[in-house]
Amino acid sequence: MDNDSTVYVGLDVHKESITVAYAIDGGEVEVLGKIETTPTAIDRLSKRLRSKGQHIRATYEAGPCGYELYRRLIGQGVDCTVCAPSLIPRKPGERVKTDRRDAIKLVRSLRAGDLSTVYVPSVEDEAFRDLARAWASAREDLRQARQRLKSFLLSHGVRYAARADWGPAHRRWLSKYSFESAWRQLAFEEHRRSIDDRVAQCERLEVALREAVIEWSFYPVVLALQTMRGIQFVTAVGMVSELGDLSRFEHPRQLMAWLGITPSEHSSGGTRRQGGITKAGNGYARKLLVEAAWSYRHPARVSKIMQPRHEGIPKAIIDRAWDAQLRLCKKYRKLATRGKDVNVAVVAVARELAGFIWDIGRLAMSLALPRRAAQPL
């Protein structure tokens, strides 16, 4: 064994098996076979690879199996990365796909430096993101349960005279309404019960999230982002939990590209063609960003709802948030005056809003922000 040799390893990971291929320096790619996904099998694989070279570089595709394999290999001293599946080079016309071929392709792409790695959060950040995603899923389930009840009532000609906003009056009306048919009434009660269960779940998760966020390492960023217009606790927690460490983006354009809000392009020769946004990256974070950008259609101002969120925040962050509001409100008016479609204008505002989020987030981590209880929605 050459002590200076590098072993390139490609891992095609599935729920119960991992197909392993490797190459030593510039040699031929060999298939090591399949192993189980148990910790013992992974430890044996690490020992076997170390017998073939001093430096071991391994990679596998990001997928439903998460980052446990990555963390275990790193703990074994293996230089492991997780690559983006959509950015792996593919030959035109290639129609055969097997685990063996995928592992070999990963080895060759890793050795050539053609793979794009994804960001792997720390264990703490991933745990907080799981809690934030559970809360987002519960709120989406609540929205769907409410929509099912509205559809049920509409199909039977039942209409609420006032605004059906799920406020006290609306809920009181629902509690008193009844159908003549016992079977239909039973279905109605089950729809209402489903909504009550989802409301209770959302409240439990919200309490847990507000307690956990105070101890989170990126809590200063959550506080700082709430000084911006259109970004309340829901948006701030969702954005930061998905983005993670903003310092990994060296320039705001990288964050914009990661969020998928940069224009697509197909240019050739002297012709340059730009299309709609790429919609690459994290769809949930992009959704939150665009929703926040809609608030910049109105004139710049600091509302009574925003004022409590400014308390205890350094002046440098508040001033930066005000600069963002002035610039983005002006940008929307300018685009609207030019006759741009409202959706196009809002996405353009969202793109620049991402740049301000990058700037304020990095500034918040460099300043000492107070630890305080999260403000109510």
Would 117 be classed as within a structural domain? no
Does residue 90 sit in the same domain as residue 12? yes
Residue 8: count of CB within 10 angstroms of its CB:
25
> At which residue do the structure tokens 């995603």 appear?
133
Residue 314 structural domain? 219-366
Say yes or no: 155 and 44 in one domain.
no
Task: Note whether 285 and 340 are same-domain residues.
Answer: yes
Whether 377 is covered by a domain: the verdict is no
Structural domain contains residue 373: no
Task: Among 213, 236, 252, give the residue marking a domain's end.
Answer: 213
Integer CA distances (angstroms), 22 to 29, 46, 81, 85, in order: 6, 12, 15, 19
Question: What CATH number is associated with residue 80?
Answer: 3.30.420.10
- Does 15 map to a domain? yes
- Whether 288 and 311 map to the same domain: the answer is yes
Q: Are residues 226 and 356 in the same domain?
A: yes
Contact indicator for 343, 308 with CB cutoff of 8 Å: no
Q: What is the mean pLDDT of each run of 10 residues along the chain (377 residues)?
A: 81 96 94 95 94 93 95 94 93 91 96 95 96 97 97 95 93 94 97 97 96 94 95 95 94 95 86 87 94 96 91 93 97 96 96 97 82 49
Does residue 138 sit in the same domain as residue 209?
Answer: yes
Are residues 323 and 355 part of one domain?
Answer: yes
Q: Specify if 82 maps to a domain.
A: yes
Whether residue 130 is contained in a domain is answered as yes
Same domain as 287, residue 349: yes
H/E element holding 234?
helix 233-243
| Whether 223 and 351 share a structural domain | yes
Structure tokens at 136: 């987002």
Whether 150 is in a domain gets the answer yes
Domain count, the chain: 3
Based on the fold, state whether residues 281 and 204 are members of the same structural domain.
Answer: no
175/299 same-domain check: no
Domain end among 154, 180, 213: 213
Q: Residue 14: which of 123, 109, 103 has the closest Cα?
A: 103
* Residue 118 within any structural domain of the chain: no
Alpha helices in 27-67 (DSSP H): 39-50
Query: Residue 44 in 3-state DSSP?
Result: helix
Answer yes or no: do 140 and 274 share one domain: no
Q: Indicate the pTM of the whole model.
A: 0.90
Could you give the CA distance from residue 333 to residue 326 in angstroms, rounded to a whole number? 11
Q: Which of 188, 213, 238 is at the close of a domain?
A: 213
Angle 108-99-110 from CA coordinates, rounded to 5°: 20
Residue whose C-alpha is closest to residue 280's, from 301, 300, 260: 260
